Amino acid sequence: MKIADIQNLFIKMGMEADFRGADGAQNFLDDKKKNFNKLSEQEKQDFDKEALENPYLDSGVYNVSEDKDIKKVLVGIDISPAEILIAKELSDTAGPDGGGIDLVIAHHPIGKGLAQLADVMNLQCDVLSYYGVPINISEGLMKEKISEVARGVNASNHQRTVDAAKLMKVNLMNSHTPADNSAAKFLRGIIEGKKIERISDLINILKEIPEYKEAMKIGVGPKVFVGSPENHCGKIALTEITGGAEGSPKLFEKMAQAGIGTVVGMHISEEHKKEAELAHINIVIAGHISSDSLGMNLLMDELEKQGIEIVPCSGFTRFSRV
């Protein structure tokens, strides 16, 4: 597989796992194409054409120094210049027969993907709609939060890792929302396939998943952040697994009104925790890096099927389901 093949595979997997469904994700792209066609010629020149083909602009390819068949990838949750140097060192010490790192794959956004993080956050409105929150309510509340995130990432040093990859001639890409979508679909399949009465039951189910079981060894396994193990779950929603970044704290009241009793997420801020407490919604935090690893593992399984070797680094714990 070439790098473009891997990127296209990840986008396809992301769309298939999307809460909107593959058709809904395609409709999102179609709407962008309609809006693009209404632009002036000058505006079309400034428009990011990738947005017409990729519904997840927080994920992309940032450096192709050598467009070769990919046989070995270095995969990490966060990739910085340090990991680029690791990839370079592993390749330099591989010997004349090859076996070096052909591609570095990050999970968290870098480069243009970080700059465009807010673009994927509208997905959260569809996730909330899936669980019964009226779409007009979620869109109204998310608009403010999306704008806040866009402002927040604007000041970042977006190209730091990308520049390192270019200097070191290391191929570099990332996959954020496609991996998060895959993790959400996986967890949804498990949770919706069981009758879960209490929070303790939910925690025990999560602890059986290899990525979360591994996280328990260092004290960051699934935990109850709001509520107690004895509480009834009620309707369980995976509203904090995918969608770019944390949503609006004002949504917890609306989730409670929609009948949601428990939210499973990756992480939660203090502001969101307080709003969940006021809304009497249980919060179960499965784990951030462990959930990221789950999503990335589901993507990496497809590369493994193609004979590509996976080298984990930077917090990524590899568990194959092939």
- In DSSP notation, 129-144 reads HHTT--HHHHHHHHHH
Out of 1.10.3470, 1.10.357, 3.40.1390, 3.30.60, the CATH code matching 183-291 is: 3.40.1390
pTM of the predicted structure, to 2 decimals: 0.96
* Residue 99 banded pLDDT, cuts 50, 70, 90: confident
For residues 293 and 212, give the distance between their C-alpha atoms in angstroms, rounded to a whole number.
9
Give the model confidence (pLDDT) of 30-52 as tens digits: 999 999 999 999 999 999 999 99
Each domain of the chain, given as residue ranges in start order, spans 3-176+292-312, 183-291
Give the model confidence (pLDDT) of 148-199 as tens digits: 999 999 999 999 999 999 999 999 999 999 999 999 999 999 999 999 999 9
Helices (H), 155-219: 160-168, 177-192, 199-207, 210-216
For residues 130 and 200, give the distance between their C-alpha atoms in angstroms, rounded to a whole number.
25
Inter-CA distances, 29 with 5, 36, 59, 188, Å: 20, 10, 15, 25
Residue with tokens 């409670």: 256
| Residue 294 scores a pLDDT above 90 | yes
